[in-house]
Structure 1
Amino acid sequence: MKNIFLLYITFFILIGCNENNSPIDIPQPTGAILDPWVGGTTEPNQVWIDLDMQKMTVTPRIAWDFGFYSGKEFRVILNTSISMAAGKLETSDINAVTEADVASMKPLVAVATFQPNNIQYVDDVKGNYLERTAIDEISANDKDNKVYLINMGNYMYTGNSTDLKISGDSRGWKKIRILRNGTNGYRIQYANISDTTFKEYTVNKDTAYNFNFLSLDNGPVSIQPTKNNWDLCFTVFVNEINGSGTYIYSDFVITNTMDHVGAYQVLTSEINYEAFTKVNVDPSKFIYDDQRVIGANWRNTFGGAKTYTDRFYILKDHLGTLYKIRFLKLTNSENLRGYPQFEYDVLN
């Protein structure tokens, strides 16, 4: 038996050591045509796309409430894809907050109210979350961490699929307070507004991800792929309209600026998609500090939903790989939104 065992070992060693010691070829990224499954007209899903692997990760929009930053800073983001919003109170005693304390704030802490100053109740729409979030950076001094009134947004719309609605009934309100949990995590206290005691979760930082996500109903949840493994996301998005505050957009595309993904737009009046090659890339045009470069700019909803054919996008991922991207479809054969399709090619 020992001889047989030694024979197996020798066999695998010989296979593992070829005479040229040749390196293993790693497949290079190629292009593809992808159909992100946002889920139809109600767009219940967020779709995270890794271009070099041609991989799409689909997660329900309603699956998470808060995202906790995994880097050295202590920042927390809201799930604005379901219209969540947050307003700071003056107290740090969560148990003391009553309905009377927040009654006047409730009409203000909301999205799409067409009030210019309601932008303060959502995170930075450009995605510069280390500079500004609706919830202040979590302080090392517990006394500095105030209670927040949280508009929990809306459930998914469950009515007729042709109604073109993306928001259902209200999910109500919570009060929360977030503290640091040592140097590598968070503690979130939460309760219904009228409750006099709170519940608590702890969230640890996993630096493989941009954010670690939490659902108040279900605890920690997996949402985004690891930070190096997504470039784009199709999602419902709360954006800003200059002078009118926040507004809810369907069919929105964000880029992973948290992992140094950059992008810019090219008009076909300058050069068409087929003719564009690596030599045409202008490094000075890449935008790394605004996740909305593609945003809603790829589609038109006036006079019938359709994609713009006069533009495409150049994207540079965290590895420096360059892609050109153009959008082919916004609707299905019945002209219903929520069925996007796009094409991309690697610029070698």
Structure 2
Amino acid sequence: MKKNLLLQLFCLSFIVFSCSSDDDNGGGIIEIPAVESAVLDIESGGSTEPNQVYIDLSTEETTVVRRDSWELGFISSENRVVLNSSILASAAKLEGIYDIDAVSEDTELTAPMTLKTLNQGFQPIEVTVSTLNELKEGIPVGYHMYGDLENNIRFTDDSTGDLDKTAIGDIPTTEAEAEVIIVSLGNEIPKDEAEAGSINTTGDHRGFYKIKVFMNNNDYVLQYAPLSSDTHEEVVITKDEAYDFTAFSLENGIEVDVEPAKENWDLNYTSVYSYYGSSRGLVAGVTYSDYVVHNTLNGVGVYMVLTEEPGEGEDAAPVATGEPLYDEFTLEDVNENEFEYNDRALIASGWRSSSEGALSDRYYIVRDTDGNFYKLQFTALLNEQGERGFPQIVYDLL
């Protein structure tokens, strides 16, 4: 009996190894078919929305990362540094100031800056600052933060993800050319959950750091220290072309694994998103929850299909737009001219209503990093207990 069992195992192993030989499968590479249909619960983490969740539609793989684990992202494809908008990080370059160890709250600016802000009545006013202590009052993201869009002054990255519009800007090629930059570390993730149906995403301010960044051949050199320190640390950050960026935590002084490989994610449920720009007729620092961006740096395109629009009159019933319903949409309905490849914030928070939850009058067409076309709809914002921060999507391969 034992001999028969061993013989069977030997034959089975022979078959398995024979079937996986290079001759039989064209070099040992097995093509994994794209996921055809899925229902995915996104692990945002509840009403404090502590997580960023990267989603690869074709594999149904997700990567979950604490959104307060990093502040800076060092781009691989260009010499650029981005900020972690999900914790409301922001930054201001100190023009003409180069000695990082000499910078403190009492540092005087090389020239006064005239900036715009909103007063307590949310009316636009101008403010002139002459010291770092005055400037840092308006660096943190909020309705009253400083900036001037007309003169291209903003202390956040652009909402679209355009690498030519980052707060930190051009990275010098020498240490001598690198000016000191003040970084607001954003806000803590609150520990206390909100009441059912509400959110609690923005806690206490995490403080300020000062940095200098410059290139050494193709590597970044980062000098950093708390604002009150008269010495600094220095690290070299090497680009990895397999990833969009290398993340760094100023608070912990380490590189952090955040994004999956750049070709292995399509959507990022970033939970919280912030930037300086126009919102509801105001120009201010704004923060959104339940926010989704797509991988514009690696060819992901998205557009929205709206199946209903408001009727005329306050109590009028919605009117059908003539677009196919989600279940009716097929590959033949895809309009490739509609895809947005340059603005990562197309989905944004427009998929939901804070009072109604996931909106059923819209869905999204996604062209993923592999060139597959998917239709995707958000089907939940709340869990069964009515708690916020439990989104769900359904998607199907076209």
TM-score over 0.5 (shorter chain): yes
Change in CA separation of 1:106 and 1:152 when aligned onto 2, cut-off 3 Å: same
After TM superposition, give the deviation of residue 137 of structure 1 in Å: 1.8
Change in CA separation of 1:228 and 1:177 when aligned onto 2, cut-off 3 Å: same
Find the counterpart in structure 1 of residue 60 from structure 2. 54
| Pick aligned residue for 1:169 from 204, 208, 213 | 204
Q: Does 1:140 align with 2:191?
A: no
Structure 1 vs Structure 2: percent identity of aligned residues? 37
Task: Report the TM-score when normalising by structure 1.
Answer: 0.90
Find the counterpart in structure 2 of residue 340 from structure 1. 391
After TM superposition, give the deviation of residue 165 of structure 1 in Å: 1.3
CA contact (8 A) 2:142 2:287 kept: yes
Change in CA separation of 1:48 and 1:118 when aligned onto 2, cut-off 3 Å: farther
Counterparts of 1:263 and 1:227 in 2: how far apart (Å)? 17
The number of residues matched between the two structures is 335
| Pick aligned residue for 1:107 from 129, 137, 147 | 137
Find the counterpart in structure 2 of residue 3 from structure 1. none
Q: Deviations over 1:114-133 (max 9, x none)?
A: 4573671011110112x111
Task: Report the TM-score when normalising by structure 2.
Answer: 0.79
| Pick aligned residue for 1:95 from 98, 101, 114 | 101
TM-align CA RMSD: 2.4
Counterparts of 2:79 and 2:361 in 1: how far apart (Å)? 42
What are structure 1's unaligned runs of at least 5 residues? 1-6
CA contact (8 A) 1:65 1:78 kept: yes
Structure 2 residue identity aligned to 1:96: A
Q: Does 1:226 align with 2:256?
A: no
SS in 1 for 2:337: helix
Find the counterpart in structure 1 of residue 35 from structure 2. 29
CA contact (8 A) 1:201 1:219 kept: no
CA contact (8 A) 1:260 1:317 kept: yes
After TM superposition, give the deviation of residue 287 of structure 1 in Å: 0.5
CA contact (8 A) 1:118 1:246 kept: no
After TM superposition, give the deviation of residue 142 of structure 1 in Å: 2.8
After TM superposition, give the deviation of residue 62 of structure 1 in Å: 0.6
Counterparts of 2:331 and 2:287 in 1: how far apart (Å)? 35
After TM superposition, give the deviation of residue 13 of structure 1 in Å: 11
Q: Deviations over 1:263-320 (max 9, x none)?
A: 000012311101100000001000000001111110112xx24111111000001221
Change in CA separation of 1:299 and 1:75 when aligned onto 2, cut-off 3 Å: same
SS in 2 for 1:143: coil
Structure 1 residue identity aligned to 2:205: S
Structure 1 residue identity aligned to 2:83: L
Counterparts of 1:319 and 1:164 in 2: how far apart (Å)? 35
CA contact (8 A) 1:306 1:331 kept: yes
Structure 2 residue identity aligned to 1:241: S
Counterparts of 1:56 and 1:273 in 2: how far apart (Å)? 24
What are structure 2's unaligned runs of at least 5 residues? 1-9, 108-131, 308-320
Q: Does 1:300 align with 2:347?
A: no
Change in CA separation of 1:26 and 1:165 when aligned onto 2, cut-off 3 Å: closer
After TM superposition, give the deviation of residue 25 of structure 1 in Å: 5.6
Q: Does 1:157 align with 2:190?
A: yes
